[in-house]
Amino acid sequence: MASVTLRRGREARLRGGHPWIFAGDLAALPPSENAGEAVEVLDHRGRFLAMALCNPRSNLTLRVVSRQREEIGRLFVQQRLAAALQLRRHLLGDAGAARLVNAESDGLPAFVVDRYGDFLVVQSLALAADRLLPHLVEELVAQTGPQGVYERSDAPVRALEGLPERTGVLWGAEPPPLVEIREGEARFLVDVREGQKTGFFLDQRPNRLKLGALCKGKRVLNTFCYSGGFSIPAALGGAAEVIGVDTSGAALELAEKNAEANEVGDRCSWVEANAFDHLRDLDRLKERFDVVVLDPPAFTKTKDSIPGAVRGYKEINLRALKILAPGGLLVSASCSHHIDPQLFLDIVADAAADAGRTVRMIDYAGPGPDHPSLPAAPETRYLKCFWGVVT
């Protein structure tokens, strides 16, 4: 087995539990023939540190998979998947929709597996993950018994690994155009073949469930609403009116179907618009809401674009605060891992100051328990959800 040596003084992050090793940490790049394989990671004195999956073409050159010497093959995948599934059963029981594998946090780097009813959706986001994919599919079938396994490796991040985007059936039946799942009292139709991410944003599950109980009799605005993930529980919770805003007409068509499936279509309406522009228009028209939800896509995927992302987050929070009635509830989320939790709180605080409003935080949540994270790797805990009451 090939080995890779770290430069002197570069082992602290690895010893602390972080699973990523970059090209600049290495004394020399591994040979191209080791691309996609497992290698031993050594410190500058030649002492063993970890096993890692290798891609010399990527700046993120090594992804740690084990802190002991072992073969990284089917047995490894079998054991890691079994542990991940056991954790979900313990945390969520027989939930019909859940994240079954959350990449590095489950010891299976660059793999994501989501369950939607009887179908599994898999993302493989790195070269070495592609090499292990046949083992993962085989074990998913053996350990979960799905009707089908569908691949959604159509994420742009694959380009950083020198890989093309890819979708299609990996095993069994192709998913129907829409798969129905349940989340609490809500029914959702999910487009696993062409919808955003793997079809739905499972990480927001606990926040969606929480919202419903706070919306009885309220006027609710849900921006960046996609297929109505926050709109439906708000309406089921007794909201008097729910308005969803998104730039995607296809997403809003699905949101409307979800409203009809939950028999709340009479209290839900949908606006195809840019949320930034629409928030400004609502302020100009002096519209007021009791609840505003901000759940945008990531505004930054690199450190260089953090300043622009900060401006974007501040703008939408400022506009939301301006249209909230006294005593109103702001639910503001960020899924940009480059925006750390304290920075996001600072953004909300700055927006409140500029809007002339006082915000009292009542909760600050992350993703659901089926999205575990690594304490040593803040990148794995990307979702932040601020809950605040406005005066």
In contact, 207 and 186? CB cutoff 8 Å: no
CB contact set of 99 (below 8 Å; sequence gap of 6+)? 88, 112, 113, 114, 115, 202, 203, 368, 370, 371
DSSP reduced 3-state for 148 = strand
CA distance 59 to 22: 6
H/E stretch holding 75 reads helix 74-92
Q: What is the largest CA-CA distance in the chain?
A: 69
Task: Quote helix, strand, coil % in the chain, to nearest 5.
Answer: 35, 30, 35
CB contact set of 75 (below 8 Å; sequence gap of 6+)? none
Hey, what long-range contacts does 27-30 have (CB within 8 A, 24 or more apart)? 28/4, 29/56, 29/61, 30/2, 30/4, 30/54, 30/56, 30/61
Phi, psi of 177 (to 5 degrees): -55, -35
Q: Verify whether residue 54 is a known catalytic residue.
A: no
CA distance 104 to 372: 9
Phi, psi of 328 (to 5 degrees): -75, 165
CA distance 265 to 176: 24
Residue carrying structure tokens 């020198």: 162
CA distance 39 to 36: 9
Residue 247 tokens, joined: 């730039």
The rounded Cα 187 to chain-centroid distance in angstroms is 20
Please pick, among 54, 215, 225, 335, the residue that the annotation labels catalytic.
Answer: 335
Residues with active-site annotation: 335
